[in-house]
Amino acid sequence: MTARSARATRTTRRGARLLALVAAGALTLGAAHETRPVGADGPPNRVSPYTGLTMYPGRVLAVKFDNSRMARPHRGLDKADIVYVEKVEGGMSRLMGVYSSRKPHAVGPVRSARESDVELLRQFGRPALAYSGVRSDLTKYLRNSPIYVRPHGKVPGAYFRGAGRPAPHNLFVRPKALLDSAPRASRPADIGFRFGAAPAGGTKASSRTVRYASASHTFRWSPRIKRWQVSFDGSAARLSDGRQMSARTIVIQHVRMRPSKYKDVNGAVTPYIHTTGQGRATVLRDGKAYATYWKRPKPTAGTTFTQKNGKPMPFAPGQVWVVYADR
C-alpha cells in the first residue's frame, strides 16, 4: 500500500467514526426530548385530532382549573391539548384543560366543576374529569353523567396540597394516579377541529380581549415567537416556571349563557354555557382574525368551524384555546 493510499484509508476510517458518533448523538438527543405520556400504549404514529400534531394515543383527561388571582401561576396548563375558558358565578372565569397527547406529573390548581361541563365534554366520548368538588345538589347529576367523574377525595393518591398557596387555591392532581382509576376512559377521536395552512383573507389583528363582569382575557400576537401570548386581568398569564402562556390558535366562540338552577355557596347563580347549537366565532391565528361560523348539533357531536365561503376553517397545529363569549 502506498503512503497516499494509507492516508486515504485513515481519512475514510476517521470519517466513518465521526458519522457514527454524530448518529449516536442524534439518537440520544431525540430520546432526551421524547416523553411517553400517561396511558400511552403505542408509538407516536397518530395525528392528534385535538392539535394536528403527532401524538401517542393516550386516554382523555379533563381538569378544571382555578383562575382566580390567588390561583396563579398555573402548573401544567401548557401541556393540555385544548384549553377552554368558561364564565362562572359573579362574572369570574375558570379554565378546563383537556389532556391526551402529553400529561405532566401534576397540574393545577384544581377547582369545582359546573353543570354545563357535562354537555361540553360529551363530544370527547367518556373522558375522565378531575375537579375539587361541587355543591351537593350537583353531585348526583355529575355522578349519573356519561363521564368518569373523579373528584378530590375519591381517588387515593391522585390529589395533593401544594406549598406556598392558601387553600382552596393549592390543590393539584396527578394525571397518572387519576387515570389509573379510569382505565376505560376514551381515547382521542374527531371533535370537528381541522388543521392546516392559513386560508386567504382574514384581517390583521394585534390583540383581542374577551371580558366577563369580573375577569378579562387578552391574547396578543407576538411576531417574534409567532404565537398569541395570554394575559388575565391585565397581567401576563404565567406558568409555574415563569413562562407566559401562549398558543398558535385562539377561538372566540359566542354562545348563549343562561342562568342555571344551581348557585354557589354565596347564592350567586351559576351560568349554563350552551356549547351546542350554532353561532358566530372568531379564529385568531398567524396574526390575523378570521370571521367564522360554529355548529354543534347535539352533545355527542363535535364542533365544526367554517369560513364565510363554507369551507372548514383550519387551525394552526398546536394547542388550541377556546374562549366562550356572550352573544
Q: Where are the alpha helices (DSSP H) in the chain?
A: 3-33, 116-121, 136-143, 175-180
pTM given for the model: 0.87
22 and 59 inside one domain: no
27 and 13 inside one domain: yes
Position 127, amino acid = P
29 and 101 inside one domain: no
**Cis amide prior to 259 (ω within 30 degrees):** no
236 and 153 inside one domain: yes
| Cα–Cα distance, 178 to 97 (Å, whole number) | 15
106 and 248 inside one domain: yes
The string of pLDDT tens digits covering residues 140-175 is: 899 999 999 999 999 999 999 999 899 999 999 999
| Cα–Cα distance, 193 to 250 (Å, whole number) | 12
At residue 284, the 3 state secondary structure works out as strand
141 and 4 inside one domain: no
**Nine-digit cell string for 170:** 393549592
Cell 347529576: give the residue. Answer: 141
Report residue 45's pLDDT band, with 50, 70 and 90 as the boundaries. Answer: low
**Nine-digit cell string for 217:** 382575557
Are 127 and 186 in contact by the 8 Å Cβ rule? The answer is yes
| Cα–Cα distance, 197 to 211 (Å, whole number) | 29
**Domain CATH for 117:** 3.50.90.10
78 and 26 inside one domain: no
11 and 124 inside one domain: no
Range of the domain at 28: 1-34
249 and 319 inside one domain: yes
Tally of structural domains, the chain: 2
23 and 99 inside one domain: no
13 and 162 inside one domain: no
60 and 147 inside one domain: yes
The string of pLDDT tens digits covering residues 303-318 is: 999 999 999 999 999 9
Distances (CA, A) of 315 to 58, 149, 193: 22, 30, 7
Q: What mean pLDDT is predicted for residues 286-298? A: 98
Phi, psi of 185 (to 5 degrees): -60, 150
The string of pLDDT tens digits covering residues 5-24 is: 444 444 444 444 433 333 33
The string of pLDDT tens digits covering residues 53-83 is: 998 879 999 999 999 999 999 999 999 999 9
At residue 57, the 3 state secondary structure works out as coil
